[in-house]
Amino acid sequence: MKDPRADYRKHTPTSEKLWQQASKLIPGGITANVKHYNPYPIFMKKAKGSKLYDVDDNEYIDYCLCYGPLILGHGHPAVTEAIKNQLDQGGTTVFGTPNELEAKMAKKIGSHVPCAKMVRFTNSGLEATLHAIRTARAYTKREKIAKFEGHYHGAHDSVAISVTSPLDQAGPSYAPIPVSNSAGLPSHILENTVVLPFNDLPNTEKIIRKHGNELAATIVEPVARGFLTPDIDFLKGLRALTEENGIVLIFDEIMTGFRLGLGGAQEYFGVIPDMVALGKIVGGGLPAGVFAGKAEIMAVMSPVGSKYPYDHLFHSGTFSGCPTVLAAGLATINVLEKPGVYNHINWVAEEVKKCMNNVFEDYKIAAQATGLGSMFQCLFTSQKQIRNYRDTVKADAQKRVSFDLELINNGVYVRPHKPFYTSLAHTKDDLDKTFEAIKEATKTVVK
Ligand SMILES: Cc1ncc(COP(=O)(O)O)c(C=O)c1O
């Protein structure tokens, strides 16, 4: 196989230099572990629409879009105008008091996302799932939670478990063993987290019934990692089981929220959870998160009428409900509400997937592009149906990374090994260039 790393280094010498300098001051030279890949990540300096520009002046068509939030593309005029207007009218970035946009956004979210009857804002997806889980614990007065193997809910303790488990430590597929996904996790976290097999209702049922009255919450990515589609009977069964056992069902819609449609996965599949965590798109490209749910559950955090300081759930955050962020988020949702917008974004994804699958077939390479709506993943595997984390682990990661580096060398940016996302800003011209890059990258993998 041709090694695309040599070309990558040749095109991006300034990124390599900046990364080496940053590494002396910042562990790994990156501020979030997801940004690391070999040989080193590219440093970008500018973006517009569907394009990113790096510090060596290379142009890329962006299919990472900051891991999903930029569904309208970079610097959409409606979003940048809304941010500028908010700064001009408000005269500052944040007030540190309530502001009108909070209830406006809560109403907007509630009008689209079926379970979101009451809403609180955070600054990241991590915080949204953290507080959703704490809310479920406060509401049920139970401690344990259940999560699915391979699902990611942010970098906090309760859920930094069995996300990328090595299979030799993960136990049988029908009863996964909780495996720490990070150094530094206290052991009691593992004792309080039950791990479930995604898309396997009979075994999920067995495990949930075993722990039924101890579980505060079951948290699930309805479309796992943005591309593993759930069986509809699996989601419905999970809803019924959690309801029967008094467990708060939390949909982590940080990926699917406002991407699979305005009502997210819960509307798409017609399965309504008790709570939802949102992030990414809801902030319009600024740092944001939301946790929301049934009014009686969300009521546990209201300090109003509380006798003692902490007989209610404590949720706080200096920047929660920041008006600049809310203005960007509202502007983004307003554009998404326009007719035809999702059609275009999904059409771009369909075209790229179709091209990949055709080219893989032409070159007789065992690989596939798979996913729903405007998110998809590319896996080098001969397995036809990819249903859960363990299926994805069998794919050839090395081939995928070579494919991605060669895409980058040909002007298409994706964070190696991660899913692809499309936006309103992607054009027919972008698609033509992307198709050429896919052919070149496939040839490299074949060689
Ligand atoms: C499904 C899901 N949940 C939670 C998170 C964490 O969000 P954040 O990175 O904003 O903390 C992510 C981030 O990629 C995610 O994809």
By the 10 Å C-beta count (0-12 exposed, 13-18 middle, 19+ buried), 440 is classed as middle
Both structure tokens of 447: 């060689």
Q: Is 152 annotated as catalytic? A: yes
**Preceding peptide of 13 cis, ω within 30°:** no
3-state secondary structure the chain: CCCCHHHHHHHCHHHHHHHHHHHCCCHHHCCCHHHCCCCCCCCEEEEEECEEEECCCCEEEECCCCCCCCCCCECCHHHHHHHHHHHHHHCCCCCCCCCHHHHHHHHHHHHHCCCCCEEEEECCHHHHHHHHHHHHHHHHCCCEEEEECCCCCCCCHHHCECCCCCHHHCCCCCCCCCCECCCCCCHHHHHCEEEECCCCHHHHHHHHHHHHHHEEEEEECCCECCCECCCHHHHHHHHHHHHHCCCEEEEECCCCCCCCCCCHHHHHHCCCCCEEEEEHHHHCCCCCEEEEECHHHHHHHCCCCCCCCCCCCCCCCCCCCCHHHHHHHHHHHHHHCCCCHHHHHHHHHHHHHHHHHHHHHHCCCCCEEEEECCEEEEECCCCCCCCCHHHHHCCCHHHHHHHHHHHHHCCEECCCCCCEECCCCCCHHHHHHHHHHHHHHHHHHHC
CA-closest candidate to residue 283, choices 310, 305, 306, 258: 258
Q: Does the Cβ of 124 fall within 6 Å of ligand 1?
A: yes
Q: Is 280 annotated as catalytic? A: yes
CA 126 – ligand 1 centroid, Å? 6
In tens digits, the chain (447 residues) has pLDDT values of: 568 999 999 999 999 999 999 999 999 999 999 999 999 999 999 999 999 999 999 999 999 999 999 999 999 999 999 999 999 999 999 999 999 999 999 999 999 999 999 999 999 999 999 999 999 999 999 999 999 999 999 999 999 999 999 999 999 999 999 999 999 999 999 999 999 999 999 999 999 999 989 999 999 999 999 999 999 999 999 999 999 999 999 999 999 999 999 999 999 999 999 999 999 999 999 999 999 999 999 999 998 877 766 678 999 999 999 999 999 999 999 999 999 999 999 999 999 999 999 999 999 999 999 999 999 999 999 999 999 999 999 999 999 999 999 999 999 999 999 999 999 999 999 999 999 999 999 999 988
Residue of 252, 274, 391, 404 with catalytic role: 252
CA 196 – ligand 1 centroid, Å? 19
Pocket test for ligand 1, best of 280, 282, 319 (most atoms within 8 A of CB): 280
Q: Does the Cβ of 153 fall within 6 Å of ligand 1?
A: yes
Residue that the structure tokens 């419905």 belong to: 236
Q: Are strands 51-54 and 59-62 parallel, antiparallel or unpaired?
A: antiparallel
Atom of ligand 1 nearest to the CA of 287: 10
Pocket test for ligand 1, best of 131, 255, 418 (most atoms within 8 A of CB): 255
Does the pTM surpass 0.95? The reply is yes
Q: Is 56 annotated as catalytic? A: no
